[in-house]
A and B are shown apart, each in its own frame.
Chain A
């Protein structure tokens, strides 16, 4: 029995290796052009899928090849992916780190291997990064608050839906929003988490609607939660437009809702532009040894509503 199972294991291993081999032979070692490794937290999330799409598109225009990977939101896995990049001998890495601290060793390993790295979306705490291209989530929260305050003429009450407890975009978007709100005449009625999920946004909003009837605005730290909340408000009999609603990320569903007048606005961080710019600066360094003009590049987030919907990066 045990011999049989060990034979089975060896066969399985051989099959697995066989499956991997053709992948390796096409790998960067035998490739003439520039190869860039792209590591994002998760390819299950539309936001990072969008980043990948833009990076691959920009790579085609630049004539470089991209290896896109999925770290399944596990920082140890992302670390391993970066180590694999080093082993494969990629020419550069575009990294959207899962955690600022946890991915510092990965950047240090890339430094040691002499492979330039650009970070997008989130930063790492240490190591030497060629350039960071990002959007300021705190600033995005502030912009959402200013938008709501302006729409409400400085008076009224707002409900907030927060992201996943402990996640840095959740913390930053909340911080910026509440900081500006506190200095205004608009009151924060209640803030609850819906963990960045649409279904959770719906059920949390259903619950909040039971307890809080009198509010004039709703802010959600991402569009997924907002779209769920919009379903809850519609089922509750609130006509669209009665409440000022501001989401975050301008995902395609949100862009459509803005056009249809169901959603007031959403904060655009231009993730595609971030990723493209990071790749351009990285390739410039690899090709021509050109250093980026600055170590940190921030794209200013913008509130997208019906009037400037054409500025949104993701079309419906």
Chain B
């Protein structure tokens, strides 16, 4: 059981308090894995793939899976914060493209690496700030706001580049996507670091607990004096920043930034969060589940390639897994009232 809600004594209507089950210390430590359904599903897929394809369970391939999961994974970490507030951010794929081409442009202008990274992350944060402010101050549904910014960010990325790729970077930048530290690929380290940071944020800080409260019961959160607008905006800013972090990894890994990058990524990102057990209606879930969800999506993509499954069938499989995961989540939520 996640720790967040139990600390929210000042929030009587908080839905999740009803589903509290006395948590053992072990379960606490692997908080996100409370979703045994997802975990069991993940294990089943891993076992099945190991049996079907002997190449699956090699160190090289597993590193491969995690590295590939790190881009949609890091974005999903940000998305988790937004979804916990009962929001959604459809613009992440486009924000990735916009931040990516701006970062790549600055990299080509030989800005210092730190400045390139800071500027890229700032583009994402700024996009998130716009989303957050329109959602909170403008009181527009997140779905509509981010559908709009999805188009705006994509358009800006095309405008800036004329839809032409920007490729070839300095070794230090390329390292962020293709390098290794102590034999661990850098994208994996960045992904795990973002998961850990978000876990600390959600479980140990006031902002984190507020995000659960806002998603659990907006009215109650407001009445109990939580700065709802500021906290919600912060979630969108972090989500945009995470999308920009995804852009850095993708651009560095691919050695190219393109205005069409990240098209359709919102599917993998939102799917990772939902499969990971964070409820789309907010207030329930956490980032450990998202880690699992992102790995599951990466494993499925990898497994289907290894098995040589046809293109058309891949679409069916991926869609079906998302629907089944959402349905299981619904059952679980329903069962607990």
Contact = CB atoms under 8 A, between A and B. Distances in A.
Contacts of B61: 207, 210
Contacts, number: 81
Chain A interface size range: 20 to 34
A297 interface: no
B261 A211 contact: no
Contact of B260 (A44, A202, A211): A44
Nearest to B54: A211
A206 B65 CA distance: 9
Given A44-B158, A206-B64, A190 B311 contact: no
Nearest to A174: B311
Contacts of B56: 210
Interface residues of B, number: 36
Interface string A107-122: 0000000000000000
Contact of A197 (B167, B260, B315): B260
Interface in A221-252: 224, 227-228, 231, 235, 252
A136 B263 CA distance: 28
Nearest to B263: A197
A193 interface: yes
Contact of B315 (A165, A204, A206): A165
Contacts of B256: 198, 227, 253
B105 interface: no
Interface in A172-220: 190-193, 197-199, 202-204, 206-208, 210-211
Given A44-B163, A204-B305, A231-B254, A193 B311 contact: yes
Report whether over half of chain A's contact residues are helix, strand or loop; otherwise say mixed: helix
B272 interface: no
A43 interface: yes
B301 interface: yes
Contact of B55 (A191, A198, A210): A210
Given A46-B163, A49-B163, A198-B165, A207 B260 contact: no
Interface of A: 43-46, 49, 162, 165-166, 190-193, 197-199, 202-204, 206-208, 210-211, 224, 227-228, 231, 235, 252-253
